Structure 1
């Protein structure tokens, strides 16, 4: 999900839709997130549904990666 707009609702819809399709675990690759997205992601991590991988340094987060989401 690219762009500077807040994406928390879109992320929640994406995760919940994929849970209904049978996805059991999510890998969330993020470089920046707003307050509500952070709270949402923390909820999924605490409930054991997701793992977050942060791109902290410029070399860790090539611009063409953006925010990535992988399913298991």
Structure 2
């Protein structure tokens, strides 16, 4: 499934330094979410998840949190 650039969706209202920091933290927390089998849910991951789900296509909203975490963790 082709998705819009997740980092752009999540950080569209921040400066470039702030974007990189928040996106990196969201990616780290997405990895923790995956490694903990969904037990650890960090604030940056939750924020990114909420934003990408809210702006995603209908099929994107149907993805599980684990599927979104994998995409966030691997996004450039």
Q: Say yes or no: TM over 0.5.
A: no
Higher RCO structure, 1 or 2 (CA under 8 Å, sep 6+): 1
When you count helix as a share of all residues, which structure comes out higher?
2
TM-score by length of 1: 0.31
Report the structure number with the largest CA radius of gyration: 1
The structure richer in strand per residue is 1
If the length of structure 2 is used for normalisation, what is the TM-score? 0.30
